[in-house]
A and B are shown apart, each in its own frame.
Chain A
Amino acid sequence: MIEKLTKWARLKSPWILHLNTGACNACDIEIVDALTPRFDVERFGILLKATPRHADVIVCTGPVTRQTKDRIIRIYEQTPDPKFVVAVGACAMSGCVYRGAYNIIGGIDQVIPVDIYVPGCPPRPDAIIDGIVKLLKKLEQAK
């Protein structure tokens, strides 16, 4: 019963954590943009949360830098199960133009498992919303 209730609540209102792992700010402002009046993801019940302990979905931007690597893992571990990761932007997918730089490890999937990739440099807010809505289907199947 409780499980059913929490699942219903998660589907109706997934809470997201925005995690910048070394991005250039472009994807970050597009994510914030998606929260503001023109795109307004709050109509899907999506809320931006400040701490990983409240979040269901981690929205990652940027390539992984060596210094943030351990922090990403820590934040991932702090998030309660079931957790989902969205990689927003070309950098979070593969490293984009920064590939080959000495301080870059690569995409987010080098460090933590990723559920949805949103391509673009940066992706438009509508693309990010589309990614999150597609993730909702995955949420439905999760236990």
Chain B
Amino acid sequence: MKKITIPIGPQHPALKEPISLRMTIEGEVIKDADIRLGYNHRGIEKLAESKTYIQNIYLMERICGICSHSHTTCYVQAVEALCGLEVPKRGLYIRTLVSELERIHSHLLWLGVAAHEAGFDSLFMYTWRDREVVMDLLEIISGNRVHYAINTIGGVRRDISEQQKEKILEGIEFLRKRTEYYTNLGTTEPTFVARISGVGKLPKEKAIELCAVGPTLRASDVASDIRKDDPYAVYDEIPFDVCTADTCDVLGRVVVRVKELIESYKIVEFVIKNLPAGEIKIKAPRKVPEGETVSRYEAPRGENIHYVKSNGTDKPERLKVRAPTLANYPATIEMLKNGFVADIPLIFAAIDPCICCAERVVELIDVKSGRSDIMTFSEIKRKYFCEKKRETL
């Protein structure tokens, strides 16, 4: 049969963000897939070099609107390590609390999107309704629904009162009941299970070989979680389990995330009940001593890595972000191969893609020759900036 290449995106009903996928299909079966990036590339890493460390917290937050706390925590951890700051316990507990609430909101959001892609819109509406509860909790704590801006270098910016603690516990109790209902629904509803089981297979060896991260990796039966493997903040003091599934398909990814929701509720309750008294932050120096460091963080989508190099001034010399979605791309292409066209949105949604996180390097593919180049920042600048300089900025 003749092979056909179909482009999907950058503006496509199945995608919420601009990305372009190129599928080579034979009949209904996908033979090859190619992901083209760059629609969402903003140049944050370069921009970060011209801003101070404090300004960069807010820039890092805006790498992604869903895992905003992940990026700021990862960044401030790196800067704190460079300065040799000892963050007060209470600050670290509040940071952990917000990061778990963020995980809850992100996983509920994902569950809804996955259900929507599987054609189960009532579950989508249910999870998004319940997600409002955790959004309210985040608003109570930080004052904003999405970008919390709770982190600062040396601790957190807002304390938690007794009233807020009660509200959080109430909210978690409600969510726990709802999640039990979802667990029941997601694993027993025959039409939903039939739609997602066996789709987007990623065997264990392949998952390790292609360096998948986060729930995608854990759904392939690999118990890897930065919170356990390389504990940051106060995760070494908190009891929780790493959730895995052995089905290696979209069903497994649903199961892992629903299990993680339950674990996150446990962590939030533990944090609230064991919140130590004391200061929430310490004063940080404006200038950061010379050095370089790498910080790791388990974001809702997987391992997030920030590399910071300082040259002794108040601005970083280099800041590199490796977001979890980028690490999951090779695995996604593997999952798409030999699948059906109708499964593309489902498989793609199953890695919980966050395009805006992943847009770090631009890969340019020549359509005519099929040649692909990875361009450095300076090359892009030369090629695109000089060409378009005459246009109004």
Contacts and interface: CB of A to CB of B under 8 A. Distances in A.
Interface string A10-23: 00000000111111
Interface stretch (B63-71, B79-87, B88-96, B174-182): B63-71
A29 B134 CA distance: 14
Interface in B189-205: none
Contacts of B42: 22, 63, 65, 98, 101, 103-104
A37 B125 contact: yes
Interface in A61-99: 62-63, 65-68, 71, 75, 96-98
Interface residues of A, number: 43
Given A25-B356, A29-B65, A37-B128, A102 B39 contact: no
Contact of B18 (A27, A68, A105, A106): A68
B271 to A, nearest CB: 25
Interface in B35-93: 38-44, 46-47, 50, 58-59, 62-66, 68
A25 B71 CA distance: 14
B152 to A, nearest CB: 16
Nearest to B113: A32
A38 B10 CA distance: 29
Given A38-B129, A71-B11, A100-B50, A24 B62 contact: yes
B22 interface: no
Contact of B65 (A24, A65, A66): A24
Nearest to A38: B132
A75 B10 CA distance: 11
Contacts of A98: 42-44, 47, 62
Contacts of B346: none
Interface string B108-130: 01001000000000001100110
A50 B41 contact: no
A110 B391 CA distance: 11
B369 interface: no
A56 to B, nearest CB: 17
A23 B65 contact: yes
Contact of A68 (B10, B46, B112, B135): B10
Contact of B44 (A19, A25, A51, A101): A101
Given A33-B128, A37-B125, A24 B38 contact: no
Nearest to B44: A101
Contacts of B13: 50-51
Nearest to A122: B146
Contacts of A102: 43, 46-47, 377, 380-381, 385
Contacts of A50: 12-13
A67 B124 CA distance: 32
Contact of B354 (A25, A30, A52): A25
Interface in B339-393: 354, 356, 377, 380-381, 384-385, 388, 392-393
B392 A26 contact: no
Contacts of B44: 98, 101
Contact of B39 (A52, A67, A75, A100): A67
A124 B377 CA distance: 35
B317 interface: no
Contacts of B65: 23-29, 122
A121 interface: yes
B386 to A, nearest CB: 11
20 contacts: A20-B18, A21-B18, A22-B41, A24-B63, A26-B66, A26-B68, A26-B147, A28-B16, A29-B66, A36-B112, A38-B132, A52-B11, A65-B39, A68-B10, A71-B39, A98-B43, A100-B50, A101-B43, A102-B385, A104-B43
Interface of B: 10-13, 16-18, 38-44, 46-47, 50, 58-59, 62-66, 68, 109, 112, 124-125, 128-129, 132, 135, 145-147, 354, 356, 377, 380-381, 384-385, 388, 392-393
